[in-house]
Structure 1
Amino acid sequence: GVRELDDYRSKCRYVKTHRACSSKGYLNYLVIFYCTFQGVPVLGYSVLFLWFMILFYVLADTTSEYFCPSVTQISRNLKLSPTIAGTTLLPLGNGAPDVFSSIISFTRSGDEDVGLNSILGGAFFVCCCVVGILCISVSSHQIKIEQASFMRDILFFLFVLCCLLVIILIGKINLWFSLCFVSLYIVYIGLVSVMHLYYKDERVINAPIPILSADELLETPLIDEEKGINFVPVTDEFRWTKLIVSVLQLPLSLPRKLTIPVVTEDKWSKAFAVASSTLAPILLATLYTTQCQETEDFRVIINACSFLCGVVLGGLSLFLTDSSSPPRQLAFLWLTGGFVMSVTWTYIIVEEVVSLVVSLGDIMGISPSILGFTALAWGNSLGDLISNLGMGLKGGEDGAQVAVSGCYAGPLFNTLVGLGLSLVLASWREYPEGLAVAGESDVFETVGFLMGGLVWAVVMVPKREMKLDKFVGVGLLGIYLCFLSLRLVKSMGLL
């Protein structure tokens, strides 16, 4: 391979002429590293790692600023119950990067181990590290969590991992079994709904009379009008700093603003609405035509139709929307458009992240599966650590309950929906033949340690009277550190 060559000119020639080194994303990182930065590897590594962080920033920003608001508004528009929304749209919003990382990896031949290790690595990190840190952080508050939902989530997750182990042991899965695997999430939603109804009725019977009604609580002002707010004066230095940051962010934010419709009250802009409704069909067509294997005439027709569609939608947006407020009529269509385009941008960014991870693995001589388990999984799960830890520390007993539930429901969603949809799409591609699923020892170790962390939690938390304490947290962190140490020793060839 390229690492066996001595000089950078030979390496540059190699990556340019060998098909195996061709880019699987929009940029060829091997060419950038070996040709653009030949002889200066430190600068090449610095640029690639900086770009890696920028991609994660854009991914997180797209999820929080566009994807999650669309999901929230669609949930309200459809009038979904909190239980159904909490087990479908909310995990989708939080787990979108993991889901798309898995789908992209499985739909590309040869990159399946990146997606599999990213999903399992993220689940392991959240279930052990995030829950462990949360337990240690709230241990002084003597917080108790609800036993029924805690046991339900962990036991169902253990069942799902057992099913996954069976698939890996068999080494093959067809389309129908892939559909059965992903449909397990429907079973989970049904179980959550039934338990919610049962315990809701039980709480209503035993509930004390509230001191304040829900309406009164909602009407209670967050700010005392008499005391007001002490505003910090904005200095010229702050204005200049904000201006510089805005200018630096412009190349990253402007393309998304011009193609993703946003119809929330605080972010409504008629100019961007017209631009996004015009350019969104053109972007979708461009992405399709650059990746399809159709004839040149067919691509021209698709691009022409998308241009006409964009002009029509842009004209309708120009004449039928108000400049002061988002549209009330046909709001669901706008929300659907925003959802589709935020998914599109998430897909684009994740595709580039996966391509960069694979290229970094080739450059550094590290297995892409290890990078998927560590860098990709940690990056995708960092938001879970921050949000769940903040909720657990500031939300009291209810906040801790929501945080712990999210730590298990989120990875469960990513495994069943993210990995399940990936298996469905990949097995559909191989239909009627089955999809070969690699059963490497690393995967068995990952699943084994993950199941060990789940068993530790499901045994020790009830023994500690459902309290989140340091003993449980240290045990979970210890399991994760033992696994990382084993992986490190094996990667160094010492075992």
Structure 2
Amino acid sequence: MGFSFSSIRYGYLRITFLLLLSCVLFSVIATPVDSSVLKPKTEHDGCSALKHFHDYQSKCAYLQTIDPCASQGFVDYLSLLYCNFEKFPLLGQSLLFLWLLALFYVLGHTASEYFCSSLESLSKLLNLSPTVAGVTLLSLGNGAPDLFASLVSFMGEDSKGTYDVGLNTVVGGSSFVTCVVVGIISIALRSRGVRIERSAFVRDVCFFCAAVGSLGLILVYGKINLWGALGFCSLYAVYVAFVYLSWRFGGEGGEFDLESVHKRGSLSEPILQREDVDEEHRSNVADRHYYWKLVVWVMTLPIYLPRRLTIPVVSEAKWSKPLAVTSVTLAPVLLSFLWNWKCSPTSFEAVIVYLTGCLVGIVLGLTALATTKKSNPPKKWLLPWLAGGFIMSMTWSYISAQELVALLTSLGYIFGVSPSILGLTVLAWGNSIGDLITNVTMALHDGDEGAQVAVSGCYAGPIFNTLFALGISLVGCAWEVYPLSIVIKTDPRLLESLGFLVVGLVWSFLVLFSNRMRLGGVMGIGLLVIYLASLSIRIVQTVGDSY
């Protein structure tokens, strides 16, 4: 991929424009924070009183007298459960868990199939260098679920009760990737004697330690203003610049291939396949594979079709003119609905917004109908198409994250589990599955270079999630109360999790240097033990608090 300094400069200007446009979109979807103090809900708030009621009928009656306990999403899950499944509580809880799995699927699939696809095309169109694309766009693609979950946790009107979910999700995801994923890679490659590039590893670990240390200082100090939040977020720009300069002038680092990484993270094709099987067996396998894909397609159609009809896709493999025209027509309509979803649909303002969305959609649809071909995607004016796909994939990711955080918060009230623990475990694990599949598959099947890129990705991703995803959330909150500072009162046990995260980094550093930068079983087992110890202590502490 060729590049020049002028192309990099204009590429960054275009990316900056897209990010600013995305921030405007977030301000449309999310309700801003209305207070300068962010703190977890106390035992005296209305939702915590649910534990004093012991039957569904009384809980339903009480919920009708208070505001929704988790207002980020479109559904009031507590009222849905307690007011509609009084006679079938197990059925109601089972449906909530199935919906939880569906939301994880939608969030991950949207990032994988739409968000990453837009990033790959933007990378090529903007002529970014492979290394810069790897530590920016690739990290953004892999960290999209954490980014949107963090934004939802901080930026919603109920953020006082859920921002702790965002903090624990970022810390939990970072711990999972740097301990569990790196540990599994180390154990799987113990017999191959794979060596990790010393300078790249030291760079990534040092920046990650700086990120964790900065976050720890913020939590200890207990408050941060807009300039502090901007400084925390800008550390990621320093990291990207350092990586680029190391690659440009030091000859360091491998080439990041966004498309190959994205494909290796997919489970659409079998990893193991024998070539010497007979034709009858191959035919049976093909039949079973076809029927299985048909069943999956039918089950996922209700959550696939709305996204496909509102996210513009201009890739060669997935091009369809009818779907493209439909998507650019319906996308403004969806945005107008999201603008008005908490307002009365018959109000004057809502009617104007709906009419504007429909008019814009019709104009864009007619333009797409007249300027595109049936056989192949457009070659000219590609940036508006990619920008539209990028923004709408972000919109769907944000919607999914909204529902996911709202549902996890509701499940915390239903089962008496701290939302912070759900963020540290369930949400962090769900968002990190893509990293586990992508990085382990790359390390096992792409040789020593693949292992190097996989291990680097295990640190670049958490650096992105900590500095950029969490940083953007802090900037948004601080902007709302400027020039005041936001006060962050969080569970002090989050500092313990940060401490275990640093212990894992130090363990990796010491073992790799003592083993001449070779991955091995000792390193992997140690990382897994550190993660399990950290998780066990947090769970035991949480269970102790409930008694």
| TM-score of the aligned structures, taking structure 2 as reference length | 0.83
Q: Tell me by how many angstroms 1:7 deviates.
A: 2.1
- Kindly indicate whether the alpha-carbon contact (under 8 Å) linking 1:138 and 1:468 is maintained by their aligned counterparts in 2: yes
Q: Aligned pair in 2 of structure 1 residues 394, 238: CA closer, same or farther (>3 Å)?
A: closer
| Greater CA drift, 258-267 or 159-168 | 159-168
| Greater CA drift, 457-466 or 351-360 | 457-466
Q: Aligned pair in 2 of structure 1 residues 293, 185: CA closer, same or farther (>3 Å)?
A: farther
- Kindly indicate whether the alpha-carbon contact (under 8 Å) linking 1:169 and 1:439 is maintained by their aligned counterparts in 2: no
Q: Is 1:123 the equivalent of 2:171?
A: no
Cross-structure match for 2:81: 33
Rounded to whole Å, the distance in 2 between the matches of 1:69 and 1:162 is: 34
| Greater CA drift, 112-121 or 480-489 | 480-489
| CA offset digits 1:160-180 (Å, max 9, x no partner) | 111111111111101111011
Q: Is 1:175 the equivalent of 2:223?
A: no
SS in 2 for 1:165: helix
Cross-structure match for 1:281: 332
Rounded to whole Å, the distance in 1 between the matches of 2:140 and 2:289 is: 36
The code of the aligned residue for 2:144 comes to A
| CA offset digits 1:276-315 (Å, max 9, x no partner) | 0100011111101224799932222121111110000000
Cross-structure match for 2:197: 146
Cross-structure match for 2:131: 83
Q: Aligned pair in 2 of structure 1 residues 361, 236: CA closer, same or farther (>3 Å)?
A: same
Cross-structure match for 1:445: 496
Rounded to whole Å, the distance in 1 between the matches of 2:320 and 2:253 is: 47
- Kindly indicate whether the alpha-carbon contact (under 8 Å) linking 1:15 and 1:22 is maintained by their aligned counterparts in 2: no
| CA offset digits 1:292-342 (Å, max 9, x no partner) | 799932222121111110000000111111011001110111111101100
The equivalent position to 1:324 in structure 2, one of 375, 383, 386, is: 375
- Kindly indicate whether the alpha-carbon contact (under 8 Å) linking 2:310 and 2:331 is maintained by their aligned counterparts in 1: yes
| CA offset digits 1:53-85 (Å, max 9, x no partner) | 111111111111111010000000001001110
State percent identity of aligned pairs.
Answer: 49
SS in 2 for 1:261: coil
Rounded to whole Å, the distance in 1 between the matches of 2:366 and 2:528 is: 56
- Kindly indicate whether the alpha-carbon contact (under 8 Å) linking 2:512 and 2:518 is maintained by their aligned counterparts in 1: yes
Q: Is 1:46 the equivalent of 2:46?
A: no
The equivalent position to 2:116 in structure 1, one of 59, 65, 68, is: 68
| CA offset digits 1:76-103 (Å, max 9, x no partner) | 0001001110111110001000001001
Rounded to whole Å, the distance in 1 between the matches of 2:134 and 2:423 is: 27
Cross-structure match for 2:436: 385
Rounded to whole Å, the distance in 2 between the matches of 1:56 and 1:435 is: 30
Rounded to whole Å, the distance in 1 between the matches of 2:380 and 2:315 is: 14
Rounded to whole Å, the distance in 1 between the matches of 2:87 and 2:482 is: 47
- Kindly indicate whether the alpha-carbon contact (under 8 Å) linking 2:57 and 2:83 is maintained by their aligned counterparts in 1: yes
| Greater CA drift, 297-306 or 44-53 | 297-306
Rounded to whole Å, the distance in 1 between the matches of 2:127 and 2:278 is: 39
Where do 4+ consecutive residues of structure 1 move more than 6 Å?
Answer: 227-231, 292-295
| Greater CA drift, 254-263 or 33-42 | 33-42
Rounded to whole Å, the distance in 2 between the matches of 1:247 and 1:22 is: 31
SS in 2 for 1:266: coil
Q: Tell me by how many angstroms 1:201 deviates.
A: 8.3
Rounded to whole Å, the distance in 2 between the matches of 1:240 and 1:451 is: 47
Q: Aligned pair in 2 of structure 1 residues 316, 145: CA closer, same or farther (>3 Å)?
A: same
Rounded to whole Å, the distance in 1 between the matches of 2:345 and 2:207 is: 44
Structure 2 segments unaligned to the other structure (5+ residues) = 1-48, 255-274
Q: Aligned pair in 2 of structure 1 residues 241, 479: CA closer, same or farther (>3 Å)?
A: closer
Rounded to whole Å, the distance in 2 between the matches of 1:63 and 1:38 is: 37
Q: Aligned pair in 2 of structure 1 residues 358, 154: CA closer, same or farther (>3 Å)?
A: same
Rounded to whole Å, the distance in 1 between the matches of 2:460 and 2:253 is: 23
Q: Tell me by how many angstroms 1:22 deviates.
A: 5.8
Cross-structure match for 1:335: 386
- Kindly indicate whether the alpha-carbon contact (under 8 Å) linking 2:200 and 2:252 is maintained by their aligned counterparts in 1: no
| Greater CA drift, 25-34 or 14-23 | 14-23
The equivalent position to 2:321 in structure 1, one of 246, 253, 270, is: 270
Q: Aligned pair in 2 of structure 1 residues 293, 170: CA closer, same or farther (>3 Å)?
A: farther
Q: Aligned pair in 2 of structure 1 residues 202, 446: CA closer, same or farther (>3 Å)?
A: closer
The code of the aligned residue for 1:153 comes to D
Q: Is 1:233 the equivalent of 2:283?
A: yes
Q: Is 1:3 the equivalent of 2:54?
A: no
- Where does 1:335-414 land on structure 2 (aligned, <5 Å)? 335-414=386-465
- Kindly indicate whether the alpha-carbon contact (under 8 Å) linking 1:144 and 1:467 is maintained by their aligned counterparts in 2: yes
Cross-structure match for 1:300: 351
The equivalent position to 1:186 in structure 2, one of 218, 230, 237, is: 237
| TM-score of the aligned structures, taking structure 1 as reference length | 0.91
Cross-structure match for 1:436: 487
Cross-structure match for 1:106: 154
Q: Tell me by how many angstroms 1:199 deviates.
A: 2.7
Rounded to whole Å, the distance in 1 between the matches of 2:110 and 2:376 is: 23
SS in 2 for 1:436: strand
Q: Aligned pair in 2 of structure 1 residues 408, 239: CA closer, same or farther (>3 Å)?
A: closer
- Kindly indicate whether the alpha-carbon contact (under 8 Å) linking 1:117 and 1:369 is maintained by their aligned counterparts in 2: yes
- Kindly indicate whether the alpha-carbon contact (under 8 Å) linking 1:453 and 1:479 is maintained by their aligned counterparts in 2: yes
Rounded to whole Å, the distance in 1 between the matches of 2:228 and 2:496 is: 24
| CA offset digits 1:203-226 (Å, max 9, x no partner) | 9xxxxxxxxxxxxxxxxxxxxxxx
| Greater CA drift, 245-254 or 352-361 | 245-254
- Kindly indicate whether the alpha-carbon contact (under 8 Å) linking 2:131 and 2:253 is maintained by their aligned counterparts in 1: no
Cross-structure match for 1:18: 66
- Kindly indicate whether the alpha-carbon contact (under 8 Å) linking 2:344 and 2:350 is maintained by their aligned counterparts in 1: no
Rounded to whole Å, the distance in 2 between the matches of 1:88 and 1:291 is: 34
CA RMSD of aligned residues (A): 2.2
Q: Aligned pair in 2 of structure 1 residues 443, 295: CA closer, same or farther (>3 Å)?
A: farther
Q: Tell me by how many angstroms 1:247 deviates.
A: 2.2
- Kindly indicate whether the alpha-carbon contact (under 8 Å) linking 1:23 and 1:29 is maintained by their aligned counterparts in 2: no
SS in 2 for 1:162: helix
Rounded to whole Å, the distance in 2 between the matches of 1:34 and 1:392 is: 47
Rounded to whole Å, the distance in 2 between the matches of 1:399 and 1:139 is: 15
The code of the aligned residue for 2:283 comes to P
- Kindly indicate whether the alpha-carbon contact (under 8 Å) linking 1:73 and 1:335 is maintained by their aligned counterparts in 2: yes
- Kindly indicate whether the alpha-carbon contact (under 8 Å) linking 2:345 and 2:351 is maintained by their aligned counterparts in 1: no
